[in-house]
Amino acid sequence: MSHVIALAGKGGTGKTTVATLLVRLFKEIKKGSILAVDADPNSNLPEALGLKIKETMGQILDDIAASLDKIPAGMPKERFIEYRIQTAIAEGDGFDLLVMGRPEGPGCYCYVNNVLRNIMAKLIKDYDYVIIDNEAGLEHLSRRTTRHADTLLIVSDATIPGLRAAGRIHDLARTLDIKIGKELLLVNSSDKDIEPQKLEWPGLEYLGRLPYDRQIEKISLAGGALLELEESAASISALRKLFDKI
């Protein structure tokens, strides 16, 4: 059975960076197949992982919803959508990547969304580890990607507004049709720990923090892939210590 880790957090907290580092650490343990899913409409995960994609799920939905007559005669609609999704998966070194994107066309998405949810459920089962990089809200997670997450990892900065936003995401998760195993709070790019006893949200466990990492800043400014981080990078070292809890 696959182990699903869903990441969420307000913009600018570094959840895509954390998702990339998790892909790297899962590659290191070499205990199974890995699928990274970019479910943030503002897709940045492909660049962070150093991959180019052929098309996003949003583009596929636009194409099919606008013209269902493109489905080959004799091929079930669900099978055709599944085929399109499989061809959209980008293959990396030791992991696969699927980018959801955002549908923008005027077509009717009711049918394809329902089919998509079933196909995604089957696709996720084909991998041992699934890492989903979400936008701040989790509606995308329940609507299109999956109805369960073994770990919901909420990424925040160390500011009061950032932590309050993390709390709102925690509250939102409880209102959606998502089965969540455990919820963890990770404070990113901070040189100071927060005091766990000050957290106001029952059920949200403080995992720890990742320090500010100049290597990440240097690679990002150069437009490189974060998988190029050196083994000694502060962020990798810190996340490795927290990895088992995740």
Neighbours of 196 (CB within 10 A): 12
What's the predicted TM-score (pTM) here? 0.89
Residue closest to 195 by CA, chosen among 181, 184, 209 = 209
pLDDT digits (tens, 9 = 90+) for 118-172: 788 888 899 999 999 987 766 666 565 667 889 999 999 988 888 888 888 888 8
Q: Which two tokens stand for residue 88?
A: 């959209």
CA 88 to chain centre: 16
What is Dmax (Cα atoms) for the chain?
61
Q: What confidence score (pLDDT) does residue 110 get?
A: 61
pLDDT digits (tens, 9 = 90+) for 9-31: 888 899 999 999 999 999 998 88
The CATH number given to 3-242 is: 3.40.50.300
